[in-house]
Amino acid sequence: MYGDQCTTGVAVGEDRAEGVKRRGLLVGAGTAVAAGITALAFREELGRLWWKIPGVDKQRTEGEVDQPGARWVAASAGNLRIADRPADYEIDRIVVHVTQGSYETAIRVFKDPLHAAAAHYVIRARDGQITQMARELDVAFHAGNREYNERSVGIEHEGFVDKPSSFTKVMYESSARLAADICERYEIPIDRKHIVGHNEVPGATHTDPGPHWDWDRYMELVRRAANRPKSTTAAR
Ligand SMILES: [Zn+2]
């Protein structure tokens, strides 16, 4: 069904409840440890180990992005689950989406706590501008499949599945650079097993990116971007 809105997957119902439960358990374990040692020692221990404990927030800077050059607009906290990837969940997939609406609309609905979905990135068709809306640390609800949400980074592309002209050259190229960088950050192989369409997610009810998304072209651009010299953009 091409008429359905992507933006983006349907969030799995238990997603948020599970997140609360998991974090609750961790807090409980920490309390038990604290009872055995002094509060000061516990704080020092926690300070030393915080980055090893899944579910304990890494220090975050407001407005920080994972992708250089991306602009930051925060999605509603209701459309994602705070996590500590890749420490708690391995990231080994990129999910490609098409918004079925405008760039502005996708950004607006991802800010809406009632939307129950958001992707990590949204890319604009006319110039390839990238807006990051969820940290890669976090589980954004975009794939409509809890396991895939936990293991993937979601990229929304402005356009319509039945309108090939919406997939601009500049958007393909911008997305390919982003995908190549994500693959490098998490050592994800650049192939169609690891870079998938929303329609290829198990149990998907969405059709995006649709038959007009040029996978051969996109994968070639991702490979090319992965091999580009990093030190000088002029040489690209
Ligand atoms: Zn989608």
CA 161 to ligand 1 centroid distance, Å: 10
CA 231 to ligand 1 centroid distance, Å: 33
Say how far apart CA 210 and CA 218 lie, in whole Å.
13
* Cα–Cα distances in angstroms (integers) from residue 227 to residues 24, 78, 141, 145, 176, in the given order: 43, 37, 30, 32, 12
**pLDDT, position 4:** 55
CA 211 to ligand 1 centroid distance, Å: 13
CA 160 to ligand 1 centroid distance, Å: 11
CA 7 to ligand 1 centroid distance, Å: 6
**pLDDT, position 56:** 55
| 121-123: strand order across its sheet | 71-72, 130-132, 121-123, 152-157, 93-98, 195-197
Q: What domains sit in the chain, N to C, each tagged with a CATH number?
A: 59-235 (3.40.80.10)
Average confidence (pLDDT) per 10 residues, the chain, 236 residues = 62 46 43 50 52 59 94 97 95 98 98 97 98 98 98 98 97 98 98 98 96 98 93 48
CA 228 to ligand 1 centroid distance, Å: 28
**pLDDT, position 128:** 98
Cβ contact 120:140 at 8 Å = yes
CA 87 to ligand 1 centroid distance, Å: 26
pTM of the model: 0.79
CA 31 from centre of chain = 32
CA 208 to ligand 1 centroid distance, Å: 5
> Cβ atoms within 10 A of the Cβ of 32, count?
8
- The alpha-helical segments, DSSP class H, found in 37-168 are 39-49, 103-111, 146-151
